[in-house]
Amino acid sequence: MSAVYTIEVEGAGVAACSDAERVLVALERAQGLGKLKGLPRKLPVGCRRGGCGICRARVVAGQYRHDPMSRAHISEADEAAGLVLSCAIYPVTDLCLRFETSQLKKPNQRND
């Protein structure tokens, strides 16, 4: 039996995600259901396989497991700092994410 975790997108809302589901897929579903109203734009989705880097995000809190992520988009240092490709991670606890891509940033939002 799989566990279901809460995925919070900072300032945007929450999604439910099973431990067997890619976080980006759960977020897409939640956005389609109107549960991520705080996102200024549609979630960035590309290859959905950890290769294009468009779904880059920072895990602010929580634990996850992951499939391979392109080193062209997530270096070892990035990974150590909590940066991930959200299409390649699966929750093992509740998570809090912050999207890094400029496609989701609101005007004047800082890139910390």
Binding site for ligand FES (CB under 6 A): 45-48, 50-55, 85, 87
* Closer to ligand FES by Cβ: residue 67 or 106: 67
Q: Closest Cα to residue 23, out of 112, 95, 109? A: 95
Minimal distance, residue 42 CB to ligand FES, in Å: 13
Q: What is the layout of strands, in order, in the sheet containing 56-61?
A: 13-18, 4-9, 95-99, 56-61, 83-85
Minimal distance, residue 33 CB to ligand FES, in Å: 20
Minimal distance, residue 108 CB to ligand FES, in Å: 26
* Closer to ligand FES by Cβ: residue 14 or 25: 25
* Closer to ligand FES by Cβ: residue 12 or 43: 43
Q: What is the DSSP code string of 12-53? A: TEEEEEETTS-HHHHHHHHHHTT--TT-SSPPP-S-SSSSS-
